[in-house]
Structures are given as C-alpha cells and as structure tokens.
Structure 1
C-alpha cells in the first residue's frame, strides 16, 4: 500500500512539474509577443501550485514592469532576490523599477564597528554560520583527542594551540549565527501596494497623519494591531498604516 502511495505521489509530482514547465514556456512565449497581461496569468497559474523559482518571479516582475505596474514589479523582483540574492540581472532590473517610485527615502548610515559587525553577520546565511560552527566543533574535538593521546611534546603543543584557536573561532561563528538569526527574525519587509496611503501616528483613523507613502516603497513591518501595521522606513521614520495597503515579502 505504501509503495502504491509513493508511486502515485511521484506520478502526481512529475505531472505537476510537466504542467508548470509547459505553463512557464507559454508565459515566456506570450511575453515575447508583447502580451504581458496574458503572460502574468500563466505565471500566476504556476504560483497557485505553490511552486517557486527565481526565474519565475523575475519573469513575472518583468511583465509587470512592462505594464508600468510599479508595486507588483518591485514586489516580484524582491521575491526573486530572496531566492537568488547575488543575481546581477535581478538587482539591475529592480533598480530600474525603483526609479519609478515617488518617495525618495534616505538611509540611516551604519558607521564604525556597527557597520563592520553587520556586514560580517550578513556575509553568510544563518545556515552557513551554523554549518561553520558544526565543522569547528569537529575540528576542536579531533585536535583535542590528538593532543590528549599524543606522546610528542611538539605535537601536543601544536594540537593544543590548534584546539584553542578552533574553540575561539567556534564561539565567534556561534555568536554570528545567533546574531544572524535575530536579524532574520526581525526582518519583515513589505511593499506598499496602495497608490497613496496615509501613515498615522497611532493605529486608528482618528489619529494624526505623520506622512504619506506611495506604491512601490519598501518598508519594514515592526508591529501589528488588528488591521494596522506599524512600519519603519530606511531613514528611521515610523508610523501605522492599513494592513491592506501593503504586501509582506514573506519567506518561503
């Protein structure tokens, strides 16, 4: 019975893959013909099956960009970057799309040790830091065992020094892993989809307007109350806006 279920599951997955591949090719063909809205529909059909890829999001964003859909194009370029963070084509096209936005928001610069620490932390993913920590644990254990059972004074000295260095590096990578985890947990980016939205000082319609944002602007969600989201801009400004006015770039 289990074997039959495995076979049926495999056949279903294979059939879904073949269907999505056909839809992707159809979407690309429609895009090349200038039928961008129809291409988007094909790409949406693939997304409805919960299948994701950088290429799919990139093509989806390109189609929206051709239609001057500012917020969706930026949103899907950002989704593509989540899957391919080093892709230059995605970064370049995202920059073009961002040039269409109205809001000009500065960035609070990180300087000195804070900037260096953040850059090092973000140089690798949490999984990469965790794997480096595990490797160093094995290195430490092996070097310590060699030190413990070695008879040669020179070998004992070298392995002792090596084990101490690996232990120090282990603590460093572990600290960066926890820091990266904390940063990722707080990172909740979203894109403004409303053509224009009022950012309030408090999460209610009667509160004072702090400022306004327009479609395509990227924000950080820092809190939620009912149908309101507290957002923070790259220049440090904060406020509340209606949840329906933004779309969160949820992780996969």
Structure 2
C-alpha cells in the first residue's frame, strides 16, 4: 500500500476515534444530568471543551447542567455560545427562552430580516473553511473560463464563445459570494463584544468606580454589548439602549 494512502487512512481513523470519544463524553454528561449529578456533567463537558471540541449539543448540555445548579447566567452564556455556532438550533433557542423567563429577564427579541437569517444559517452549516475552499474553487473555474475564452475566442463557434464568458463571470460572482460568507462567518465567531452577566447581580453605575452614582442593579443572565474598559470596570450597552459601567468580574464574554 502506498505511503500517502496509509497516512490518509491513519488520519481518518484518528478523526473517527476522536468523534466517537466526543460522543461518549456527551452521552456520559447527559446521563449525569439525568441522574441529577450536574456537577459531574459540568466537569466532563468543560474538560471536553478544553480540548477544543465545540458543538451546539455540547453547549446545550453544558447550559442544562448549569441550570440544574441554579446558575441561570452560566446557562444563558452557554446557550448563547451554542447559538453562535448554529444560529437556527431550535433546542438552544427554546432552552434560552425558558431560562430567561425563569430568571425574569425580558429580552428584546428583534426579528432578523429573513435574508440575514438565511445568510447566517448557511454560513453555519457550511463552515468558514468550506466557504473559503468553495470560493477558491469557483475563482479557479472563473480564471480558467476567462483565459480559455480569451485564447480561443476566434476558434470557437459563436454559441460556445458567448456562453463561456458569462459562465466565467457567474463563477467569479459565486466565488465572491462564498468568500464574503466565509469572512462573515469568521467575523461572527470571533466577535467578543457581547457578554452575559454571570454574577448573581451587578450594580450599573454612571462611571467606572465603586463610588460612582448607582443607576440600578442588574439581574443575573442579562446579555449586553461591551463598549469600553477601564481598570476593573467595563462600559456596557443593554439591549434596550441604556448604558453604564459594571465590574468586569461580573460577566463572561460569549
């Protein structure tokens, strides 16, 4: 057997073993949650996440385990992380809505334009790397088609000549579409400007500092956008547009 083929088979075997190991850990965590041993589930899932393995199901199981521990903030944080990987995941959406209601958080549900929702879902299904490879493939087809048309335009019959150039242009447009989708997906995954309040509560103040004027006390599980940082405080913008400063230790980035 040729050496490259042996290497390919070995890589596939390792990937399969890794996938089975991940499924086994997820199954063990679900059993721990079912047996009301959520601490064991959290430990198992965190160790799996520490290896770099991420999936919507992992974050859903982790969120469920934290909810069993009466930590709605950590539950919401993990549901949000899972939805970042798969925006259309119904289980994560339903769990997030339920936990928010249980925590008394009235989140503003802004309906996305259906094309934006489709764009994000398609990017999540394909993945950033697949989009980039498809962009490269269609770009190569466009270049080949354009060069072929230029070099052989006088030798081709009229139908082929007029069909080849539009095809090359279409391939170029498709390449641009996949390139934009891949970049959009990478930008979405790397966005660390959103966070969730994981402390039991936090005091929202008009300026950074424990002596600044107190505006209100925020509940656990609230989602917000990070605007600025100063010392041990961060400036945030809530979903309803209000702004203020809270301790940085009270939150975790999504």
Common fold: TM-score over 0.5 = yes
Gaps of 5+ in 2: 1-10
CA contact (8 A) 1:121 1:179 kept: no
Partner of 1:201: 206
Contact in 2 for aligned 1:220/1:231 (Cα 8 Å): yes
Q: Is the 8 A contact 1:103 1:213 kept in 2?
A: no
Structure 1 unaligned runs (5+)? 1-9
Q: 8 Å contact 1:107–1:234 — kept in the other structure? A: no
Deviation at 1:246, TM superposition (A): 0.4
SS at 2:209 equivalent? coil
1:63 aligns with 2:65: yes
Where do residues 10-159 of structure 1 align in structure 2 (5 Å cutoff)? 26-47=28-49, 51-106=53-108, 115=113, 118-119=116-117, 122-125=120-123, 126-127=128-129, 129-148=131-150, 149-150=152-153, 151=155, 152-159=157-164
| CA deviation string 1:107-165 (max 9, x = no partner) | 5677xxxx577556535435455344323312311221231214222221222222334
Distance in 2, matches of 1:172 and 1:106, equals 31
Partner of 2:3: none
**Structure 1 residues 24 and 169, CA gap change in structure 2 (3 angstroms):** closer
SS in 2 for 1:199: strand
Corresponding pairs, count = 234
Which structure 2 residues correspond to residues 216-235 of structure 1 after superposition, within 5 A? 216-235=221-240
After superposing the two structures, state which structure 1 stretch, 92-101 or 176-185, moved more.
Answer: 176-185
Q: Does the CA-based 8 Å contact 2:202-2:246 persist in structure 1?
A: yes
Distance 1:175 1:188 in 2: 21
| Aligned-CA RMSD value | 3.7
Q: Identify which range, 17-26 or 99-108, moves more after superposition.
A: 17-26
The offset of 1:174, in angstroms, is 4.7
Cα distance in 2 for residues equivalent to 1:146 and 1:18:
47
Equivalent-residue separation in structure 1 for 2:133 and 2:17 (angstroms): 35
* TM-score normalized with structure 2 length: 0.71
Query: TM-score, normalized by length of structure 1?
Result: 0.72
Distance 2:200 2:55 in 1: 28
